[in-house]
Structure 1
Amino acid sequence: MTHTPFLSDQLLARIHDRAADYDRENAFFADDLAELREVGYLRALVPTDLGGLGLSLTELAREQSRLAAAAPATALGINMHLVWTGVAKTLHDRGDSSLDFVLTEAAAGEIFAFAISEPGNDLVLFGSTTDARPLADGSVAFTGTKVFTSLSPVWTRLGLFGLDSTSADAPKLVHGFVTRDSPGITVIEDWDTIGMRASQSNTTRLDGAVVAADRVVRRLDPGPSADPLIFAIFANFEILIAAVYAGIGARALELAVSSVQGRTSARTGLTKDKDPNMRWKIAEAAIRLDALQPQIDALAGDVDGLVDRGDLWFRALVGVKSRATRTARFVVEQAVAVAGGAAFSNSSEIGRLYRDVLAGGFHPSSEDSAHSTVATALLGPE
């Protein structure tokens, strides 16, 4: 597939140059965000007739890989906003206007974030420990704790969900969007991790935070759902997460190649790129990495093309996320192995990629969940 880059090489170079400082200082990628915003990247997926740039998911996934190669934490952080615009676009393309306000508000400059993950909740979208209490005017008050809330310093719109256990039709999972100025929202600045530090994915506490009636977008039964919103979240999240980790792998491979070209063996007198062990490691990393992009392109292309894969969608989506994060980790590990002791330095970019790539295992779907999904598709329910 031919891809015309949207983000310029010059912009990506500046973003790359800032990444190490953000990581060292555990600081949010504020300057990166300002530049990405200036070029319209936050409205990339918004259709042109709604004020956006009209990129496809396929095009955007390619850009996210390029951004991740420059600065993984920046790509992961901005991913969450892009996922919400992707969800809204996926619904819009299928005739569902329920999240069109996400598109128009993103075009107007609002920044969207996710408040889905909860401590100890391995049901992810199929259940919630957050209380969603309906109010008389149709609004809903949310009380609970959300973790891994990327873009914590800057989001203006927070997509969240919780469990209504009191209404006549309870239990229902309630999805909606709250504005940052709503009372009852506290951002806990607790993001002190070994990797993906610039994403600043802090904990968010909700204490009766109210979602307005016109921003309550779904009331769904707990458990797996055929609702288009759930498909749209899974599709955009898994594909764009896969794209980020594919980009990390691509950068690690570049660094592995350059590391062996610049070193000479004291034992043989040859440069390390002539060492058969080094060549095998790099080749194996490249072979595995080469399989990722066609899969990401194919899935994103089917979302763009309104292809109906039926029940096979979820197997494919969790599969590409799992494969991308595992492959990226393998490639980074090979880069560490061929770079040698230099990669253990805190100033090493390969070392930083090694820390960043570990986050892949924490994004939904987990390895256990992904394997359960695929096993169910092949063998039926347990």
Structure 2
Amino acid sequence: MTLSQVNTENAVKAVPAVPRPVEPAHVIKDDAEAIAVARRLAAEFVKDSAKRDRERIWPVAELDAFSQSGLWSINVPKAFGGPEVSYATLAKVIEIISAADSSIGQIAQNHLGVVAAIRTVSDAAQQKLLFAEVLRGTRFGNAFSELGSKRAVDFETRFADAGDHVVVNGRKFYSSGALLAHLVPIVALDDEGRAWYAIAERDAPGLTVIDDWSSFGQRTTLSGTVLLDNVKVPKTHLVPGYKGYEVPTADGAIFQIIQVAVDTGIAQAAIDDTVAFVRTKSRAWVDSGQDHAWEDPYTIQAVGDLTLRLHAAQALLEKAGRAIDRAVLNPNADTVAEAQIVTAEAKILSTEIAIAASNKLFELAGTRSTLAEHNLDRHWRNARTHTLHDPVRWKYAILGRYFLNGENPPLHAWS
């Protein structure tokens, strides 16, 4: 079956592109404003987050508010008119949004990662062009990963040179954000096997996005299949992503730290809902001798333990952000390795606390917390799904090799 045939058969399933915003996006002025704006948005996003998950309602209005708020341009360099906030702040922003709705937090991940990559690998003319798009409120989706390859780094999608543009052919999956993106960065290989970001218009002829994401968690990340049938991309939008991994850069750690922040956000939401349920709905256990569930000494101990472990993950998350800042300003083998190592440590703790907190919620809150009307299982489903990114068993190996044998982590987007 040819790609063209696949495209035709799936035409009825294709999701139409959304228009770019009419008004330019706000530009955040500093780190403090970024945190304040994130908190304001989160207070709105959380209101219908359970309903969106239950009914798989796309967060269309929420995503528009998120990208128009200026939070999608917070890592654009000051030299190009951006806020260039600390990566510790960027991670906190994603955590705050993810605590309200982790799917919305994840949608921004690849956008922010591509913005970072453009800073690392693009020339000044390309940076000026693409950063201007981002500052206006243009959203990048992604078409990176492929289904069925031997390894995540094995790509079959390729592009061919056609003068002032390239032509891309392939098939992608796990394309978070692509459904409601304005531009879609596609990881495609050149004739030498090097990976580039070919940034295509979302409504480019031959680019088909299908809403077929069926995971039990992160249900509204706007992921799915992307079909690429002779998609034309101007060379002005062809970004040499491979250069970010030929020498030490912070690009991999930046992609990773955003994943960590999504998970600490999920953990925060699970703990918050545990406390709220125990304080208002749970009954004291018959043998506790207490009148209220929140007086149970074992529940008190468990909430203290969960909160401590979350705070440890958050502390490492902030430390990782500062290490990434140093690696961005002065990229070398040592600064980049430090950023990768601290981010790997944070990834381990964030994975463990996201799963533990979302699981412990039901033990502490009791049987009533499993009722469908509360939809509290979304926290566990989201944690279990999202933490499958970049398995932590390999993070332990990275740490052991570094601290025992002085071996720096590998340079790729998963490290």
Counterpart position of 2:246: 226
CA distance in 2, matches of 1:354, 1:271: 26
- The question of 1:194 aligning with 2:216 is answered yes
Equivalences for residues 268-307 of structure 1 within 5 A: 268-305=289-326, 306=329
Q: CA offsets per residue over residues 302-347 of structure 1, 9 Å max, x none?
A: 2223355244443333332233122211121122221122332233
Counterpart position of 2:273: 255
Residue 107 of structure 1 and its aligned partner are, at CA, apart by: 0.9
Q: CA offsets per residue over residues 30-63 of structure 1, 9 Å max, x none?
A: 1112222342222232245534344332212111
Structure 1, gaps ≥5 residues long: none
- Change beyond 3 A, Cα 1:318–1:79: same
CA distance in 1, matches of 2:40, 2:105: 16
Residue 372 of structure 1 and its aligned partner are, at CA, apart by: 4.5
1:240 to 240, 258, 281: 258
- Secondary structure of the 1:7 match is helix
Counterpart position of 1:102: 130
Q: CA offsets per residue over residues 219-238 of structure 1, 9 Å max, x none?
A: 749xx93346xx44312211
Counterpart position of 1:32: 62
Residue 150 of structure 1 and its aligned partner are, at CA, apart by: 1.4
TM-score, structure 2 length as denominator? Answer: 0.79
CA distance in 2, matches of 1:100, 1:303: 23
Residue 20 of structure 1 and its aligned partner are, at CA, apart by: 1.8
Residue 16 of structure 1 and its aligned partner are, at CA, apart by: 0.8
1:11 to 30, 41, 49: 41
2:227 counterpart letter in structure 1: R
- The question of 1:265 aligning with 2:284 is answered yes
- Change beyond 3 A, Cα 1:42–1:328: same
Corresponding residue pairs, total: 367
- The question of 1:87 aligning with 2:99 is answered no
Aligned partners of 1:187 and 1:203 also within 8 Å:
yes
CA distance in 2, matches of 1:335, 1:48: 43
- The question of 1:345 aligning with 2:364 is answered no
Aligned partners of 1:234 and 1:317 also within 8 Å:
no
Aligned partners of 1:111 and 1:157 also within 8 Å:
yes
Aligned partners of 1:84 and 1:113 also within 8 Å:
no
Residue 74 of structure 1 and its aligned partner are, at CA, apart by: 1.2
CA distance in 1, matches of 2:67, 2:235: 30
Structure 2, gaps ≥5 residues long: 1-30, 410-415
Aligned partners of 2:58 and 2:220 also within 8 Å:
yes
CA distance in 1, matches of 2:312, 2:319: 12
Q: CA offsets per residue over residues 75-122 of structure 1, 9 Å max, x none?
A: 111233233224334668xx9775443322111221102221111346
CA distance in 2, matches of 1:312, 1:123: 26
- Secondary structure of the 2:184 match is strand
CA distance in 2, matches of 1:8, 1:220: 32
- The question of 1:70 aligning with 2:84 is answered no
Counterpart position of 1:116: 144
CA distance in 2, matches of 1:304, 1:310: 10
Counterpart position of 2:186: 160
Q: CA offsets per residue over residues 98-150 of structure 1, 9 Å max, x none?
A: 544332211122110222111134643x43232x1322416433222211111
2:283 counterpart letter in structure 1: T
- Change beyond 3 A, Cα 1:266–1:330: closer
Q: How well do the aligned residues superpose, as a CA RMSD in angstroms? A: 2.9
- The question of 1:366 aligning with 2:391 is answered yes
Aligned partners of 2:68 and 2:137 also within 8 Å:
no
Residue 350 of structure 1 and its aligned partner are, at CA, apart by: 2.8
- Change beyond 3 A, Cα 1:226–1:49: closer
- Secondary structure of the 2:232 match is strand
- Secondary structure of the 1:151 match is coil
Deviates more, 1:207-216 or 1:247-256: 207-216
- Change beyond 3 A, Cα 1:99–1:341: farther
CA distance in 1, matches of 2:204, 2:111: 19
Identity in percent = 22
Deviates more, 1:26-35 or 1:253-262: 253-262
CA distance in 2, matches of 1:99, 1:322: 34
- Secondary structure of the 2:36 match is coil
Counterpart position of 2:236: 214
Aligned partners of 1:143 and 1:207 also within 8 Å:
yes
CA distance in 1, matches of 2:142, 2:394: 20
- Change beyond 3 A, Cα 1:198–1:348: same
- Secondary structure of the 1:160 match is strand
TM-score, structure 1 length as denominator? Answer: 0.85
Aligned partners of 1:127 and 1:173 also within 8 Å:
no
